[in-house]
Structure formats: C-alpha cells, structure tokens
C-alpha cells in the first residue's frame, strides 16, 4: 500500500494539548489556507485518502517534525526500546545527540525533546484515525457499500488502538482521545488519570470482529492483525487467560492479508526489503523508496543507524551492546543458551584494535542469529564485505565494536531498495511477526503452568534458528562478495532444542528461558525495554537487569563510555518515560494542568 504524506493531510489542525503543540488558537479561529473541508472529503475517495493518511503516520514521519529530528519519532523504537535497554548503546561519539545520551543513562527529564517528538507523532496518528471516523459519518448514503464503510471504520479504529498502545508503552498514564473530541466541542483537554487499557481493548475487539481476513493492499490490517494486537495488549496487563485462546487461534488459523497462513520463514528474510510481507509478517509498517516522496516513505526515522563504512556511511548510532552479543553464547554440549552465566565473560572482540591489525574471531559456540543481528569484526556483513571493525565505526572508544544489521539492505539490491545516499530504504518495520506470537504463547503457557506446551513453542522458534539454511556463510571470495556464499558457516554455530528442562526444572526456569529467547530472537527490534517493563510489575526486576547491565558495560577495558559513568536505573521511576513538559503546560485549564506527570519526574 503506497503511503501518502504531502498529498493527504489532516483536514483541520486541532489545537489539542495532547496532539500538536505547534498549533495556535488564533490560527484555528479562521479557515486554514490550502486545506480540504469535511464536505470535500465526505466521499469515497476522500475518506479512503484520509485512511491512507492515518496509516502513513505509523512510521512517525509526515506529521509535525520534532526539534531534534524525525529519528525521535521512529516506529522502530530504536531509541526507547533499544538504547534505553540493554540491547544497544546510543553509538556515535560522546556529545553527539546529548538528549539521547540522557535517555541511555536514565537522567532524562520531561523537557527532553525526544519525548515530545514521540508524543506528537503518536497523537497526530490518533487524530488522523479519528478524522476518518468523523468524515465517514458524513459520507452520503450510497457512496460506499455497507461493507466498504465497515472496513474503513474498522481499520481506522484499529489504527487508533495501535497509536494509543504505542503511547501506553511509553508513558502508561495517557489520555485516550476518541473521535468525539474536537476544538469545536471544547472537550480537548483530556486528563491522563484513568486507565486506557479497556478502551484500547474495546477498539481492538471491534476491529477483530469486523475486519475482513483478506485485504487488497498488503499493508492494511486484517482481522488476524487486530487479534494479535489484542493478545499483545492482554499480555502487557498479565491477562494470560484471555490471551491464550487468541494466540492459539492465531497460531492454528491466522493468515496474512493476502491469505497466506502464518509461518516462520528464513530468519534473515524478515529483515530483507526484497522478501518483506512474508508469511511471518503479522503486521508491518510499509516502507518504500523511489516513489516520488523524496525518501520520506523509506525508514526515515532510522537514518542515523548506519556505520561509518559499508552502506550509507552514516552516522554510527544504535550500536549493539557487549552484553547483548554475550547473550548469543551457547553451551558447547547442548547448544542451549547460558541463562545464568552468559555475561560472565565477553565474546572476543576487536575493541581498541585497528582494522589494519591482525584479529582472530571468537571460536566458542554461538547462536547463529547473532550474525544476522550484529555486525562484528571478521564476519560477512550481508553482501557488503567482511566487517573490518574500527574503520566502519565512528568511535570505538565511545560506542563499542559492533554495528546494527537488521535494518540494513543488501548491496546487490541497493538501487531498488534504497534512495539518495542510501540512508532511506524500503525495509519494512514489522511490528508483530509470527515468532512474536509463538513466544507470547510460550510465555502465556509458563504463567498458566503448562510448561510442556511452553517448551514446545520455544522449540519451534529455536528449530528455525538451528536450520543451517538460516546461518551466515563465508564468502566464495572475500575480495568480491558479489560472487556469493559458500556452504561453510561463518562462525562456530551450535544451537539445540530443549528436551524436558521446562518441566524438570520448574516454572522459574521456564520463565527465564522464554524471556531469554525473546531477548535473542527479537534483539535490536525495539522491544526489549518494553518487555522488561511488563515483566517488572513493581518487583524491581527491570532495575536489577539494567543496573547489572550498566555495571558490566562500564567495566570493560578500553571502553570509555563517558556518559554512562555514574548511570543508574531508578526503581519506581525509570520503568516509564516522563510526560513531555510542553504537553503538560499546554493542558492547563484555569491555570491548572490537566495532564499529570509520571512518578519520580
């Protein structure tokens, strides 16, 4: 589905404190220049155009741009789900994007512009979804069939739920904005003191009931995508009994909008623009290039996340952590992950070693998913060549020796999958993939107590990773990667399946194993912070994990991570991000702010 940014706009600019802080009341008191009226849009083409506009904001690009840039608004959540967790460091050099440094060391405050950028992007998306619902009621009878109108409504309600859910992950205490909210109705100052979960659930239940299974455009949501998001919302509230039947139904019967049954595909195909929208894609944000949009439709929120060498040659952000890489070590006998000892020593790396100096790669056993997740010295980096280490990194001393890889395109496909200098590309961001579903099902079975079922689901995911077809191979010719790959694994990969460990060792062990599997299967995909958040439940689990991580990363020889010195994750505070201060200030009624700040800020 082609995305529209400049051609489809919000038909009116609402000065809602929860929406767009750049709007001014005096502007709203006169008819805006160059906008479309409700009457003009109240037809089949107009309401469909508005719906496409609502989809287009999923990537965070196309609405008001944050002062720090569109990278604060990315749907991939690389900064909030990745940099703020133990997945990755900010990267680049010390002092580059200092607002992001504050997020990584947990000293961020409500005035950090990254948070306002994300807030504005999400609530602009909500507003666009609500625009569709408002205009739909004004379309003349007969212009749409009943089914066409129902599908438009259900898709808009689905999008409204997704945007609210993304906001709830960030801040939890958020205002829910329905299509009845408008400046004209003078009901736009909405408090954030009531839980929004029931309303998000209701929207997703409506979408799941009314959306069709098949869609003409692959990027549109079908009923299975709505059920998957509903299951995710249940899991975020620990409603495992409600999630279980949904997840089983999705696993047994779910299909893509094209009617293809959900299934696991070759692991790397999930991150390749030429194989996107596969059987594993439950719901993906569509990216495109060379479509006369100047690159705005092509992963613009991730333009910083390229190494100093290889594709795009910019800008060195979002670098995998030492701890993440260590997580891919496996037991040399069983091939199982080292659930308790994974971080006791570091995988051999080239920290402080020049690219011109000799270096031998790590020879211990590894989970093969590592080298489709992390670029590391001596290993093929897709088809861009052997990753040479320091020469591809902006500053090893500040950012470490590793590079991200899942959002990168193949060199052989550069002209068709990227645009301009190569920093915008058509690599979809998959919000939910089938591996997610399987691991949520495993988590659900652990919490319900059916450990054998949980182990079965985990093993399905691990069996895919254990297939040598999914492993990175060496090049036929290291000097010319275009000649292709051999059948020789690029590293000492060994991965095994669980046998009876879940039942034999009990629920605590099974819970740890499922959580660890999510960590490595979904690494660098923007989920980690929010997984830790929902597993915490006031227990201090998240603080323990992240403070242990900080200690490890700041005690690595040769690694001078200046802004991490003295960093500390505060229990009861840092599990949530602060409500943007500018939004609190805009919410005042009679001098009192309607929006309340999150605890500790």
Distances (CA, A) of 510 to 170, 240, 443, 461: 28, 16, 9, 15
Which of 34-38, 94-98, 174-178, 248-252 shows the lowest mean pLDDT across its residues?
Answer: 34-38
Which residues have a Cβ under 8 Å from the Cβ of 536 and sit 6 or more positions away? 542, 543, 575
CB 397 within 8 A of CB 558: yes
What mean pLDDT comes out for the span 356-361? 96
- Report which of 125, 150, 151 is spatially closest to residue 64, judged by C-alpha positions: 125
CA angle 449, 369, 308 (to 5 degrees): 135
Banded pLDDT at 24 (limits 50, 70, 90): very low
Q: Where are the beta strands (DSSP E) in 290-393?
A: 317-320, 374-375
386-398: pLDDT as tens digits? 999 999 999 898 8
CA Rg value for the chain: 24
Banded pLDDT at 35 (limits 50, 70, 90): low
- Report which of 230, 124, 123 is spatially closest to residue 176, judged by C-alpha positions: 123
Q: What is 1-194+569-601's CATH number, 2.10.10.90, 3.40.50.720, 2.60.40.60, 1.25.40.390?
A: 1.25.40.390
- 445 pLDDT more than 80: yes
Q: Where are the beta strands (DSSP E) in 245-385?
A: 281-285, 317-320, 374-375
- 3 pLDDT more than 90: no
Alpha helices in 98-222 (DSSP H): 98-104, 113-136, 146-171, 197-210
Same fold, 1-194+569-601 and 300-526: yes
Judged by DSSP in three states, 424 sits in: strand
Which residues have a Cβ under 8 Å from the Cβ of 270 and sit 6 or more positions away? 278, 280, 281, 406, 430, 433
pLDDT of amino acid 17: 37
In whole angstroms, give the CA distance from residue 268 to residue 340. Answer: 28
Q: List, in sequence order, every residue forming a beta bridge with 216; answer none if it has no partner.
A: none
How many Å separate Cα 392 from the centre of its chain? 25
- 400 pLDDT more than 70: yes
- 30 pLDDT more than 70: no
In whole angstroms, give the CA distance from residue 414 to residue 487. Answer: 24
Interaxial angle between packed helices 434-448 and 451-466, expressed in degrees from 0 to 180 and rounded to the nearest 10:
150
199, with CB counted inside 10 A (0-12, 13-18, 19+), is middle
What mean pLDDT comes out for the span 71-78? 95
H or E element that contains 560: none
Q: Which residue has the tokens 């489809």?
A: 8
Which residues have a Cβ under 8 Å from the Cβ of 433 and sit 6 or more positions away? 270, 280, 281, 282
Domain locations in the chain as residue ranges:
1-194+569-601, 300-526
Architecture of domain 300-526: Alpha Horseshoe (1.25)
Residues above pLDDT 70, as percent of the chain: 94
């Amino acid at each position: 589905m082609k995305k529209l940014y400049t051609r489809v706009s919000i038909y009116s600019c609402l000065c809602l404190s929860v929406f767009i802080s750049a709007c001014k009341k005096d502007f709203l008191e006169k008819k805006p220049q160059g906008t479309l009226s409700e009457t003009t849009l109240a037809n089949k083409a107009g309401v469909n155009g508005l719906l496409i506009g609502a989809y287009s904001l999923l990537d965070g690009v196309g609405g008001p741009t944050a002062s720090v840039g569109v990278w604060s608004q990315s749907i991939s959540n690389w900064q909030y789900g990745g940099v703020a967790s133990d997945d990755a460091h900010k990267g680049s050099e010390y002092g580059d994007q200092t607002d992001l440094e504050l997020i990584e060391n947990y000293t961020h405050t409500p005035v950090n512009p990254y948070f306002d950028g994300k807030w504005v992007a999400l609530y602009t998306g909500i507003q666009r979804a609500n625009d569709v619902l408002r205009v739909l009621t004004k379309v003349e009878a007969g212009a749409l069939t009943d089914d066409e109108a129902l599908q438009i409504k259900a898709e808009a309600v689905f999008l409204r739920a997704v945007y609210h859910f993304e906001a709830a992950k960030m801040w939890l205490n958020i205002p829910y904005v329905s299509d009845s909210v408008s400046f004209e109705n003078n009901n736009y100052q909405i408090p954030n003191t009531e839980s929004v979960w029931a309303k998000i659930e209701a929207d997703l239940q409506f979408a799941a009931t009314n959306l069709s299974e098949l869609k003409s455009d692959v990027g549109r949501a079908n009923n299975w995508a709505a059920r998957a998001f509903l299951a995710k919302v249940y899991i975020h509230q620990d409603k495992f009994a409600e999630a279980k039947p949904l997840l089983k139904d999705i696993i047994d019967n779910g299909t893509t909008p094209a009617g293809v049954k959900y299934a696991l595909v070759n692991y790397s195909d999930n991150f390749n623009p030429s194989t996107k929208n596969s059987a594993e894609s439950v719901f993906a944000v569509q990216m495109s290039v060379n479509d006369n949009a100047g690159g705005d439709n092509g992963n613009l929120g991730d333009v910083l996340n390229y190494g100093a060498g290889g594709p795009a040659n910019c800008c060195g952000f979002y670098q995998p952590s030492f701890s993440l890489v260590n997580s891919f070590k496996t037991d040399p006998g069983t091939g199982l992950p080292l659930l308790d000892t994974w971080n006791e020593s570091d995988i051999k790396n080239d920290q402080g070693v020049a690219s011109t100096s000799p270096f031998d790669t790590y020879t211990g056993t590894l989970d093969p998913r590592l080298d489709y997740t992390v670029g590391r010295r001596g290993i093929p980096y897709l088809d861009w060549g052997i990753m040479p280490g320091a020469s591809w990194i902006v500053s090893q001393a500040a950012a470490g020796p590793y590079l991200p890889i899942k959002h990168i395109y193949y060199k052989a496909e550069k002209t068709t999958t990227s645009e301009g200098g190569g920093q915008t590309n058509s690599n979809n961001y998959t919000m939910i993939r089938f591996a997610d579903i399987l691991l949520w099902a495993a988590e659900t079975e652990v919490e319900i107590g059916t450990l054998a079922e949980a182990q079965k689901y985990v093993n399905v995911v691990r069996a895919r990773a254990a297939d040598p077809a999914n492993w990175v191979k060496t090049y036929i010719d290291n000097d010319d990667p275009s000649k292709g790959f051999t059948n020789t694994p690029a590293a000492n990969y060994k991965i095994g399946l669980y046998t009876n460990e879940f039942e034999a060792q009990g629920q605590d062990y099974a819970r740890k194993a499922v959580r660890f599997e999510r960590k490595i299967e979904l690494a660098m995909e923007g989920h980690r912070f929010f997984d830790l958040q929902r597993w915490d439940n006031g227990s201090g689990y998240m603080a323990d994990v992240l403070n242990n991580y900080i200690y490890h990363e700041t005690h690595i020889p040769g690694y001078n991570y200046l802004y991490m010195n003295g960093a500390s994750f505060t229990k009861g505070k840092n599990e949530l991000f602060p409500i943007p201060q500018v939004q609190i200030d805009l919410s005042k009624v009679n001098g009192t702010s309607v929006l309340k700040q999150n605890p500790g800020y």
